[in-house]
Amino acid sequence: RALMTGRVVPRATLEMALEQVPRSVQILKDLVDYHCELNNAPKAPDIELVVTGSDDGGWQTFEQQWIQTCAWVPSRRKFLRSSKKNAGSGEKLLSVEAINA
């Protein structure tokens, strides 16, 4: 790759990184919400989930960590929110109205 890109990373730097990453993971894994290790060996038939944190729910727990939610669903109506202060009491009033999109 270095021949193609012209960028070379010294071998000592690569070896240092390969040694340091597992040490860093050991130190930091207890400070995160979720930790797992994957075995992505070149000749393995599939990726293997080797270690998960304290909750060993396997792939199901892994998948739940990556579920994304969206506050806006395209097929639903949009809502317009506005607020203004009540002149008499100074309280903030919230007004919500549906907009047909």
Predicted local confidence at residue 88, as pLDDT:
66
Contacts of 84 (CB under 8 A, 6+ apart): 92, 93, 95
Phi first, then psi: give them for residue 13, nearest 5 degrees: -65, -40
User: What per-residue confidence (pLDDT) applies to 81?
Assistant: 60
Q: What is the pLDDT of residues 22-62, one digit of tens each?
A: 999 999 988 988 888 889 999 989 999 887 666 677 888 88
Residue type, 100: N
Residue with tokens 């304290």: 54
Find, among 42, 101, 39, the residue nearest to 76 by Cα: 101
Determine the pLDDT at residue 83: 61
**Token representation of residue 64:** 């739940």
Give the residue with greater pLDDT, 95 vs 49: 49
Query: What proportion of the chain, given as a percentage, has pLDDT over 70?
Result: 64
15 vs 34, more confident:
15
| pLDDT recorded at residue 2 | 76
